[in-house]
Chains A and B, each alone.
Chain A
């Protein structure tokens, strides 16, 4: 075991926290959809990439950053509305498996489309903030990650308030709980589905811009979306706080594994440590730390 160095550990943990909060941003999109429509979106990574590509391509065409971000945002909302209207509405009432498989197909579709239209190269998104990290003692904070973390927290607060306090939020929860009864209560279920997907679009757009700025935008970006699953399983598929806490756990575990386990085993533990944790969580507490205990044990 390599020497346990407090400074280094602190560095790892802080880096893990930042990255974890950025994972939460993607997970939030996922949770929103699940919370409102009970659908598992396997194309979350591709949503993020699509938004990132739209932003990057606009920036390449000379459009200033804020406008490009707005374009990406509106593009994603339009896309999600369209998606809901054309595809998902027809899958209402079908078993959930159909929606899942549709999102799997959607993932391939988006990936192919993005490569076709925007080409295969890498693009960069440059945020209008500096590149040099801030130093707080031994901790290093790259500005991109700082922005991402802040955005995550803002969304956490915003959405929690939305679902708890606003009328629309409560209506969405009702729809997620029981579609038929909600319809009986006069809630326009279809409109709330559309809204849920649109919100996911917003979150994905922001996630895309930030992750794109951090990693560069190309069609390998969706791979980051795979990390969403350990996050939401650990946090709870339908819990917003869970998305954030799950993200933190995954981020920190990854960082610590990379720092301490990797030298032992020759590398790569960082990648699957979250998945092992996820499986353990499935055995012990399948609904995650904060998810609703609504599991039919059959």
Chain B
């Protein structure tokens, strides 16, 4: 009753293929946009905004990784390294040539995509999990390079201070300015991914995931498309890295080590593979998890643990919940949080006639 899908007629191919064909959806998206752009910054305090910013950045990375893992079914554990590639590329450009953000961000992404091509080429020719192992190697090798090649890393400290970006002459210093900046990128990422999936390339990815032998038979060059998926996912990772450096104020490889890669993998799995909303849920969940665990334990933890042990318990518990949830979602609910959302949505879709 709320969500009518019938009674909508299209009169042109373009209208039929539009991204948001139903007027209901269009109103919903418009409403969401208004909410996020106008309402949220006004009512949130700095602390919540800082968390939101972190979530936004994570969303971009998760969406990118989902293209690889969810739509093409390859495992990559090296996302963190590609983020550092993007971060350092952009940081170098900004510090040396004063590149504005609309050059630095794509440049970071492109560099990461290039390195992705390099890493993917030897390992994607073979079916199996060699990509996973190669990305692990890439993670470690890239870390070493950044640490040792001072031309890249900007000195022995291996971190480069990144000044806040300026958009149309306004330097973004306050959290809500940063928030709008990041939100723009998130919207771009979502729209871009949606279009990608609906396009020929996206369908090739899904074909590879579902039955790669059949895909090869109908003429899809598997190697090329897998490589493309990997490169695109690395591009997103690079962009995420640049956004992190803008937000944190420094580009530092120690922020993009193995656990970060695993974090993002978890976001994609927990959120739900193979949809666009999935990684968003996953990103929100995984980013909020440590904060929530901490708050929950602060509130009730006094019952179980001594106060001084509490701060030691929280990170270990977080790791446990984290790993446990990955396993849980894999075993019980492979479609992740997205499935939960779908169920809720389906319920309301046919309400009150749910038979």
Asked if A and B are interacting partners, one says yes
Residues of A with Cβ closer than 8 Å to B? 40, 42, 87, 90-91, 94-98, 100-102, 104-113, 115-116, 119-120, 226, 229-230, 233, 265-268, 271-272, 275-276, 278-279, 282-283, 286, 295-298
Residues of B within 8 A of A42 (CB): 77, 132
Interfacial residues of chain B within 128-183, with CB under 8 A of chain A in the complex = 128-130, 132-134, 136-137, 140-141, 144, 147-148
Residues of B with Cβ closer than 8 Å to A? 73, 75, 77, 122-123, 125-130, 132-134, 136-137, 140-141, 144, 147-148, 212-213, 216, 222, 262, 265-266, 269, 312-313, 315-327, 330-331, 334
Closest-CB distance, B140 to chain A (whole angstroms):
6
Asked if A108 meets B322 with Cβ closer than 8 Å, knowing A101-B269, A283-B122, A298-B212, the reply is yes
Would B129 and A113 count as touching, CB distance under 8 A?
A: no
Closest-CB distance, A45 to chain B (whole angstroms):
11
Residues of A within 8 A of B321 (CB): 112
Closest-CB distance, B277 to chain A (whole angstroms):
20
Nearest-CB residue, chain A, relative to B147: A268
Would A105 and B75 count as touching, CB distance under 8 A?
A: no
Asked if A297 meets B125 with Cβ closer than 8 Å, knowing A98-B334, A112-B318, A279-B134, the reply is yes
Would B73 and A95 count as touching, CB distance under 8 A?
A: yes
Inter-chain CA distance A120–B313, complex, in Å, is 10
Q: Tell which of B73, B122, B212, B319 touches A109, judged by Cβ atoms closer than 8 Å.
A: B319
Residues of B within 8 A of A267 (CB): 148
Would B148 and A298 count as touching, CB distance under 8 A?
A: no
Residues of B within 8 A of A109 (CB): 319-320, 322-324, 327
Nearest-CB residue, chain B, relative to A284: B122
Inter-chain CA distance A80–B144, complex, in Å, is 34
Q: Tell which of B132, B315, B322, B330 touches A91, judged by Cβ atoms closer than 8 Å.
A: B330
Residues of B within 8 A of A268 (CB): 144, 147-148
Residues of A within 8 A of B319 (CB): 108-109, 111-112, 115
Inter-chain CA distance A131–B213, complex, in Å, is 57
Inter-chain CA distance A72–B319, complex, in Å, is 23
What are 29 A-B pairs at a CB distance below 8 A? A40-B133, A87-B327, A98-B330, A101-B75, A101-B330, A102-B327, A104-B77, A105-B323, A105-B325, A110-B323, A112-B317, A112-B318, A112-B320, A113-B320, A115-B312, A115-B315, A116-B316, A116-B317, A120-B312, A233-B133, A266-B148, A272-B140, A279-B122, A279-B134, A282-B134, A283-B122, A297-B125, A297-B126, A298-B213
Q: Assuming A109-B320, A116-B313, what are 4 further A-B pairs, CB within 8 angstroms?
A: A40-B133, A101-B75, A101-B326, A226-B140
Nearest-CB residue, chain A, relative to B320: A112
Residues of B within 8 A of A296 (CB): 126-128
Please list the 4 inter-chain residue pairs (A to B) with the smallest Cβ-Cβ separation, ordered nearest first: A105-B326, A112-B319, A109-B323, A108-B323
Inter-chain CA distance A27–B308, complex, in Å, is 39
